[in-house]
Amino acid sequence: MHQLRSVIFVSLLSAAVVQIVERHDLIIDTDPGADDVVALLLALASPDELNVLAITTVAGNVRLDKTSRNARLAREWAGREEVPVYAGASKPLVRTPIYAENMHGKEGLPGVAVHEPKVGMAKGNAVDYLIETLSKAAPHSITLAMLGPQTNMALALMQAPEITQGIKEIVVMGGAHFNGGNMSPVAEFNIYADPHAAQIVLASDVKLTYIPLDVTHKILTSEQRLKQIAGLNNQAGMLVCGILNEYVKADMAHYGLPGGPVHDASVIAYLLKPELFTGKQINVVIDSREGITFGQTLADWYDTLKQDKNVFWVKNGDAQGFFNLLTARLSRLK
């Protein structure tokens, strides 16, 4: 009898554990980019939690043709060629385009050899795809991970504001407050590259989470952490180590850090294991005025202005927990 009770208890417990894993229907909007590719590999290696409906690309770290090729490379390396890749905006809404070749190299992917992937782009434009998918989706059912400038989503919202009905949450890699910026003393790249787009997304009233430099600069590579990934001895591990070893050099030198951030991968880690992160709901305003504060995210952490709390701002993350998760998921790939 006692044994039977234990069996029933264990079965109930595992049923409860299974229910806790939330599966997201996910669209990843991205500008690969070294850390974007790591994020894509992490997402595509996690099909139990993430149903990746599509990858949409935008110009950002490099031009659109290269971000689109690199997204398809990540998909190929993950063995997930069935996930469509749609190309979107080739330039920001208003400002002059900027790129980050200094960080990501001419190809947008440092430390590894690139090639033309076997499978091509999906037919149609990313903005049309977003409009069609989100307008037909069940209410508040689709999550968006936005890993680059927010131009595609801003264009979609401008053309069809009603698409917010299909959005469950948008998780953005962008912004900086406590840490300071990486494009100016106050501005982070993804917001600085298209602040007008970020303002439109911010004004749309969807559930928004920001993963800013405040947290990504606390989740740093180390020799040990990269060794752990290299030790997987698979293609994915070798690629991620090749990319990161090269990518982190500039940040380590510039900031005097012991390792480098892998910004965009934190967005995916947040969706997979939100318990690794902490933050709070605050008011955020984006500055798009010409001048020294262009692209700044004004994050009212202490609620000084008593304004609408429009963003969940993530401030801290468990760095070792992140790298354990990344290593475990990469071990599933070839």
Q: Which residues are catalytic?
A: 263
Contact call for residues 222 and 258 (beta carbons, < 8 A):
yes
- Neighbouring residues of 48: CB distance < 8 A, sequence distance ≥ 6: 21, 23
- Taking residues 164 to 183 in sequence order and writing x for each that binds ligand BDR by CB under 6 A, - otherwise, the string is ---------x--------x-
Q: Helix 235-255 and helix 223-230: axis angle, to 10°?
A: 170
Least spacing, CB of residue 118 vs ligand BDR, in Å: 25
Q: Say if residues 73 and 44 touch (Cβ distance below 8 Å).
A: no
Q: If binding is defined by CB under 6 A, does position 188 make contact with ligand BDR?
A: yes
Q: 54 or 250, CB closer to ligand BDR?
A: 250
36 makes contact with ligand BDR (CB under 6 A): yes
Q: Is 142 in the site for ligand BDR (CB under 6 A)?
A: no
Q: Report CA 294 to chain centroid distance, whole Å.
A: 22
Q: Which stretch binds Ca ion (CB under 5 A): 27-35, 85-93, 231-239, 244-252?
A: 27-35
190 binds ligand BDR (CB under 6 A): yes
Answer yes or no whether residue 312 interacts with ligand BDR by CB under 6 A.
Answer: no
Burial 248-282 (b: 16+ CB within 10 A, else e): beebbeeeeeebbbbbbbbbbbbbbbeebbebeeb
29 binds, among ligand BDR, Ca ion, none (CB under 5 to 8 A by kind): none
Q: Rounded to the nearest whole angstrom, what is the least distance from the CB of residue 71 to ligand BDR in the complex? A: 12
Binding-site size for Ca ion (CB under 5 A) equals 6
Residue type at 318?
D
The one-character DSSP state at 283 is E
| Distances from the Cα of 114 to the Cα of 99, 199, 239, angstroms | 19, 34, 11
The site for Ca ion (CB under 5 A) is made up of 31, 33, 36, 147-148, 264
The site for ligand BDR (CB under 6 A) is made up of 33, 35-36, 61, 100, 103, 147-148, 173, 182, 188-190, 263-264
